[in-house]
Structure 1
Amino acid sequence: MEIGSMVIAVVGVAGTLGATLLTQRGAARAKRREIELVHGHDAVRENLLLRRSCYVGLNRDARQFTTALNRHLHAMRERGVEEADRTALDAAKDAFRDQYSEAQMIAPGPVLAPTTLVHHALSDVYGQVKRLERGEPAPGESMEAAAEAQQGIWGSLRVMRAAMRADLGVPDGG
């Protein structure tokens, strides 16, 4: 009987230790899954914040570049362009270019497509303005055509902004 009692005792101790180890392994596995889930949510949140920051800057700089083109056209018509005008226009262009470059790396296709249209529209008007400023307009280019093209950018900006808001899950509203 002594051997039987010892076997029962050994089996009991082994079972208790085994159950403890299995419980610890299960808890560790659950904790790992929880950490992975939290990190997954953190990554999603970080990505959303990164896109939001990029979109805010891109929207701001596109609007400022559009406004700078308008001011430059007014200066050309009313008094002639001064160095400060050129500097302001180029600073707005450079700021937009930098934000657009960031968006090319971050924005998904449904946002990048209208953003690229805005980029091309701004670049086209900028080219017209600079050629007009130099007195070397391309065929069909005039102050009126450049001003009309500049005003047309506002519609493209609305489309771009709507795509950004949709990507961020912001309800439609402007």
Structure 2
Amino acid sequence: MVVAVVGVAGTLGASLLTQRGAERAKRREIELVREHEEVRENLALRRTCYAALNRDSRQYTTALNRHLHVMREQGVQDADREALDAAKAAHRDTYSEAQMIAPDAVLAAATAVNHALTLVYGQVKRLERGAPEAGETMETVSRAQQAIWDLLREMRAAMRVDLGVSAAD
């Protein structure tokens, strides 16, 4: 009788342990899938943000260059100011998003670009008003604007490394 009870208890216990083990394995599998989805969504979010920031930063840099040419050649009109301010606003919005998403290495490069763009924008506006600070000329501002392209390349490289598209230097 005791042997029968122990046998039945062992059989029932084994099936319960097997069932609990299977449940634990299934829960772990679900957790792994969820973690994988989160990683994939985070990567997609960064990719989208980086593409927008790269595009808008380049367009802002191009708008500054165009504005300088307009200032030299014909004088600035309201439409020219609006185009520059629209490029500035687009960059500001995507940079703000990157501040919340990008890791430190990418954010450092993006901040350098943002800082350079802000400085050149201020110089352009002072020249436009006819009130440049000491040393600010069309030539010095143009050189500062052209230097932004190197910062943009560095920012893009940091983004590509973060996304796993390029290897780190």
Aligned pair count reads 167
1:7-86 matches, cutoff 5 A: 7-86=2-81
Does the aligned pair in 1 maintain the 2:157–2:166 contact within 8 Å? no
More displaced stretch, 93-102 vs 34-43: 34-43
Q: CA deviation at 1:15?
A: 2.2
If the length of structure 2 is used for normalisation, what is the TM-score? 0.94
In the alignment, structure 2 segments of 5+ residues that lack a partner are none
3-state SS of 1:151 partner: helix
Q: Which residue of 1 aligns with 2:122?
A: 127
Provide the identity percentage.
Answer: 73
3-state SS of 1:167 partner: helix
Counterpart CA distance in 1 for 2:158 and 2:72 is 35
Name the larger-Rg structure.
1
Q: Which residue of 2 aligns with 1:103?
A: 98
Q: Which residue of 2 aligns with 1:163?
A: 158
More displaced stretch, 62-71 vs 104-113: 104-113
If the length of structure 1 is used for normalisation, what is the TM-score? 0.92
Counterpart CA distance in 2 for 1:62 and 1:142 is 23
Q: CA deviation at 1:31?
A: 0.6
| 2:82 aligned residue (80, 87, 93) | 87
Q: Which residue of 2 aligns with 1:150?
A: 145
Q: Deviation digits for residues 115-140 of structure 1, max 9, x if unmatched? A: 11100100000000111111111111
For residue 157 of structure 2, what is the amino acid of its counterpart? Answer: A
In the alignment, structure 1 segments of 5+ residues that lack a partner are none
Counterpart CA distance in 1 for 2:6 and 2:162 is 60
Q: Deviation digits for residues 29-71 of structure 1, max 9, x if unmatched? A: 0011111111111111111111111110100000000000011
Q: CA deviation at 1:9?
A: 3.4
Runs of 4+ in 1 over 4 A off after TM superposition: none
